[in-house]
Structure 1
Amino acid sequence: MLEAPIPPDEALRLDTLRRLSLLDTEAEERFDRLTRMARRVFDVPIALVSLVDEERQWFKSCIGLEVSETARDISFCGHAIMGNETFIVPDASLDPRFADNPLVVGGPCIRFYAGQPLQIANGCKLGTLCIIDTVPRVLSDEDVGLLKDLAAMVVRELEAVQLATIDELTRISNRRGFVMLAEKSLSLASRLQMPLALLYLDLNGFKGINDRWGHAEGDRALIVFATLLKQAFRGADVFARMGGDEFAVLLPNVVEAQAQLAYERFNTILAEHNRQSSCGYALACSTGIVSYDGRGCVSLAELLTRADELMYQRKRDSKG
């Protein structure tokens, strides 16, 4: 059996996938109707919307299969996301890459597989729309075109999810996206008794930037600030523009002292940007930092309120 290689954009691909907050969610009719359509159009027993996670492929929609996920190292979809075209295996039992695959020699006894990569706007292939049969098959060019059309409909649904959770200007999570991701992180922290910290940041002097240099420059300041946040914090951290000139960062498995160090690192990056910038103003922020030790019960709303209050207190103190 040949395991699929790892895509060159794997880090970005996994980050994009997880920010959709679709993994381990309930079935949704908008995806199920497309897999039902694929099964009916191609007359196959199994049709899936498969999302390829770090160590598994998880099925957002699963028609004709009893399981919700399988290991990535035995997945056909892991191979499919390596290319741009439809990945077709006419008879897996005769294909040296798959002949001894557990999904071939055992249930569901795959013989035929065709998977169309689900490539979204940033170029990442998050998974496939795939059809599976227990007997060998051949797809015509017309069939391939139909599968691509159905996959394009799945991609539109994925991008609709992404647009609903991404801030249009800065291209990081918006408040809705932050809440979805942060709630999961908080639930995990509580279950594992793992600490986390929350930073709430307000961009100082934003109104003055808009008033003096115009709204286009104000937008540029927000974009730069968000970009510097992404540079300063870890890929596992959840950061978002909460609205206006306010941002939040959730740091899993971090105590408050570590969060303070992370904030100081961000300030160093901010200062270096200001030193090199010729825009006429300096970017600075006021921040509230709160933490949760993983014990007891606390809501995300409580953490946000406490961090917000601390941030405004520090903003008032800085004004003397």
Structure 2
Amino acid sequence: MSTNLDRSGPSTTTPVSSGFERMVSERMELRLGRFERLGIKLFGVANCLVSFGKLVPRFDHLVHSITNMEAEFCDSVPPVDEILVIPDLRLHEHLGKHPMVAGPPSIRFFASHPVFDHGNQLIGSVILIDYQTRDLDDEERQSFADLASMVEREMAFSALYQTQLEVIKQNRNLKRDSLIDPLLGTWNKSAIIRSLKLEMERCAKAMKPLALLIASVDQMEHLRDLHGIAITDMILVKTVSRIRSCVRPFDALGRFGTDLLLVVLPGASHLVVTAVGERIRASVLMHPEKMNDVDTALTISAGTASTDIFPDAEPETLISHAEKALLSARNAGNNCVVQATPAQPDMII
């Protein structure tokens, strides 16, 4: 069993098809590069660029390169919402005076096709650049439109994927919220029982023991009557924090009842869980809580049960053993940890 996963608190993942995710998560530069290489091959031009506002930032690492100069020229041409073909830039009324047309690198041919989003809003352009005069016939113009349409579909696909990721994230959060206790941030009762069942199956297959611990603060009912629910809620939150500091990252912690906390310890024997229980007991005892400006000593009782003592126990039975051990701890005067033994009478919850 992997020990680098934190199961002490809620954590869920929703798998996404790895091939699908890999395909759409490629860097934008690589995705645009496919269309640009296709445009160069299809039209036999010096360069094809896909622009979504500014090209220079894409090529700023190629300072003083031809590509960087081409990008700078393309950025100086305002985007248009229809196909634009200029066979000879030197003859153009405005662009003919551009320093990159009149001088180096002497760009001669420019063509641009608009790219729209799903709402028919102009978002970019597919641009062709060459250093000799030329024109696009009807067939080439249709191919140019097809290339722009391919870019539009790619961008729509990317937007759809981003929407899907957001939905997955929202669903993951909703699923997570349904499994956690809103006050303590631990697993809720149904989730911690599910975690126990899964861990018992894993440990059985790996031929490893599993232990669980049920604990509660001994003074909780008295404090609730004396100070109210808000104070006892605060004590529960702090108790959870102390328990987390005493268990391993991959042990699961959940709220099992109003004042009951359940810890699932995969791979732990009865000796280990008893030691953990004593560590928790000492941690709570060493940190009195200030209530109405008065330090109030708190103690905790815990009952433990383990599969090395009860090898054939079902999850519900193992919980029952731990509950009876907790009752024994309370009957013994509180502030202690009791290990369940086969001598205790069976009780199914």
Shorter-chain TM-score above 0.5: yes
Q: How does 1:58-73 map to 2 (within 5 A)?
A: 60-62=15-17
Instruction: Quote the offset at 1:156 in angstroms.
Output: 1.4
Deviations 1:140-187 (A, max 9, x none): 766554433322211111111111111100001111111121111100
Instruction: Quote the offset at 1:256 in angstroms.
Output: 0.9
SS in 1 for 2:178: helix
Gap change, CA 1:178 and 1:17, over 3 Å in 2 = closer
Which of 217, 228, 234 is the aligned partner of 1:203?
217
8 Å CA contact 1:233, 1:262 repeated in 2: yes
8 Å CA contact 1:287, 1:311 repeated in 2: yes
Counterpart residue identity of residue 310, structure 1: A
2:9 & 2:278 partners in 1: Cα distance?
27
Larger radius of gyration, structure 1 or 2?
2
SS in 1 for 2:302: strand
Per the alignment, residue 172 of structure 2 pairs with 158
Gap change, CA 1:250 and 1:163, over 3 Å in 2 = same
Gap change, CA 1:212 and 1:292, over 3 Å in 2 = same
Instruction: Quote the offset at 1:91 in angstroms.
Output: 3.8
Which one has a larger percent strand, Structure 1 or Structure 2? Answer: 1
Per the alignment, residue 178 of structure 1 pairs with 192
Deviations 1:5-61 (A, max 9, x none): xxxxxx7xx537994455xxxxxxxxxxxxxxxxxxxxxxxxxxxx5xxxxxxxx35
Q: How does 1:89-128 map to 2 (within 5 A)?
A: 89=28, 91=30
Per the alignment, residue 272 of structure 2 pairs with 258
Instruction: Quote the offset at 1:225 in angstroms.
Output: 0.7
TM-score by length of 1: 0.58
Counterpart residue identity of residue 301, structure 1: E
Gap change, CA 1:296 and 1:15, over 3 Å in 2 = closer
SS in 1 for 2:268: coil
Gap change, CA 1:275 and 1:144, over 3 Å in 2 = same
Instruction: Quote the offset at 1:280 in angstroms.
Output: 3.6
Which of 227, 240, 243 is the aligned partner of 1:213?
227
Are residue 286 (structure 1) and residue 286 (structure 2) matched? no
**Residues paired across the two proteins, number:** 215
- The unaligned stretches of length 5 or more in structure 1 are 1-10, 23-50, 52-59, 66-74, 81-85, 96-135
Per the alignment, residue 253 of structure 2 pairs with 239
Deviations 1:51-104 (A, max 9, x none): 5xxxxxxxx354987xxxxxxxxx959xx9xxxxx7635548x89xxxxxxxxx
Instruction: Quote the offset at 1:222 in angstroms.
Output: 0.8
Gap change, CA 1:142 and 1:158, over 3 Å in 2 = same
Are residue 88 (structure 1) and residue 27 (structure 2) matched? yes
Gap change, CA 1:286 and 1:63, over 3 Å in 2 = closer
How large is the Cα RMSD of the aligned pairs? 3.6
Which of 176, 192, 197 is the aligned partner of 2:206?
192
1:243 & 1:195 partners in 2: Cα distance?
25
Gap change, CA 1:230 and 1:63, over 3 Å in 2 = closer
8 Å CA contact 2:289, 2:295 repeated in 1: no
8 Å CA contact 2:255, 2:261 repeated in 1: yes
Per the alignment, residue 310 of structure 1 pairs with 325
2:163 & 2:169 partners in 1: Cα distance?
10
8 Å CA contact 2:184, 2:237 repeated in 1: yes
Instruction: Quote the offset at 1:264 in angstroms.
Output: 1.6
Per the alignment, residue 52 of structure 2 pairs with none
1:253 & 1:191 partners in 2: Cα distance?
12
1:196 & 1:223 partners in 2: Cα distance?
26
1:228 & 1:268 partners in 2: Cα distance?
10
Gap change, CA 1:169 and 1:275, over 3 Å in 2 = closer
- The unaligned stretches of length 5 or more in structure 2 are 35-149, 335-349
2:9 & 2:238 partners in 1: Cα distance?
23
SS in 2 for 1:297: coil
Gap change, CA 1:205 and 1:175, over 3 Å in 2 = same
Instruction: Quote the offset at 1:286 in angstroms.
Output: 1.4
Counterpart residue identity of residue 88, structure 1: R
Taking only the aligned residue pairs, the percentage that are identical comes to 17
